[in-house]
Chain A
């Protein structure tokens, strides 16, 4: 089976940049996407096709994907960005989710 691994937690100060990685075998050969999930809420799509933002997603969220790693970057992190973040990719007729990263804004 295909696995996507994320760091369990990332801490960031308000206004600073947070980077969340997602590692998988040859992930750069697939499209990666990213979701944000706040407590008690359904996931929200932040990034699709590695770098694209759906309408309504702030510009401070950006993505990249190369080699074995996809990265979600939050620039100018705000307190409202404190949440869980998940990567996801498609592999051989299966949607695969990452292990999730809790972002804490200190």
Chain B
């Protein structure tokens, strides 16, 4: 059974960096059959995919155009986890953030999700 455990601060100041971590159990971040994503949810934007990382002979990263240039998603094989960093945040980045696994056999469907972290951007 795969489990994703998220951690990180719930309050971030405007212009600062949002940092979250997702620890994986029951699978590995370097699995050849999974991609690891960050997704956020807010009343104004609904569910919004932010980006992913996955391993296929080398590490790959894809980011949504809406946050490209401000985002970094990085794997950590030693701790079996991956992280999200979102720079220069504004109140519009206030949302419930999820990490999730997309399983290749399910063709890009997210079969496991973290518990969610509510991040508020406010001074």
Residues of A within 8 A of B (CB): 1, 31, 33, 35, 42-45, 48-49, 52, 54, 86, 88, 90, 93-100
Contacts and interface: CB of A to CB of B under 8 A. Distances in A.
Task: Give the bracket for the number of chain B residues in contact with chain A.
Answer: 20 to 34
Most chain A Cβ neighbours within 10 Å, of B46, B48, B98, B116: B46
A97 B49 contact: yes
Interface of B: 37, 39, 46-49, 52, 62, 64-65, 98, 102, 106-111, 113-116
B109 A94 contact: no
Given A35-B110, A97-B48, 5 more contacts: A42-B114, A45-B110, A49-B106, A88-B47, A94-B65
A1 B108 CA distance: 18
A47 B98 CA distance: 19
Nearest to B102: A95
B103 to A, nearest CB: 8
Contacts of B109: 31, 33, 45, 48-49, 88
